[in-house]
């Protein structure tokens, strides 16, 4: 019996598919765990990003908008730290 295998997808396709699977909107409590931020800092950043959606008493954060906003704070690698003991 011949087994059929699915072709291996390129590494660029995998992150795109993962983005589709994850939730688009999350609550504050979930966001605090995902991003490892305090409630106050998360509220400040999500508000600045314009990622907050309020529905009655429920507050949701749009992950796509929030992630795009967080990318603004990314620092490029400097290559200075090599690990181990400082010389």
Can you give 22-55 as a three-state secondary structure string?
CCCEEEHHHHHHHHCCCHHHHHHHHHHHCCEEEE
Specify if 39 maps to a domain: yes
How high is the pLDDT of residue 80?
Answer: 78
Q: Please count the structural domains in the chain.
A: 1
Specify if 87 maps to a domain: no
Q: Residues 25-41: pLDDT tens digits? A: 999 999 999 999 999 99
* Structural domain span for residue 34: 22-73
Specify if 28 maps to a domain: yes
Question: What is the full per-residue pLDDT of the chain (87 aa) written as tens digits?
Answer: 566 766 666 666 777 666 666 778 999 999 999 999 999 999 999 999 999 999 999 999 999 999 999 999 988 888 777 666 655
């Amino acid at each position: 019996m011949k087994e059929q295998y699915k072709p291996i997808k390129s590494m660029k396709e995998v992150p795109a598919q993962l983005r589709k699977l994850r939730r688009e909107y999350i609550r504050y409590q979930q966001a605090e765990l995902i991003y490892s931020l305090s409630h106050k800092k998360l509220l400040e950043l999500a508000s600045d990003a314009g990622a907050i959606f309020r529905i009655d008493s429920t507050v949701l954060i749009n992950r796509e908008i929030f992630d795009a906003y967080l990318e603004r704070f990314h620092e490029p690698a400097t290559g200075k730290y090599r690990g181990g003991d400082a010389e």
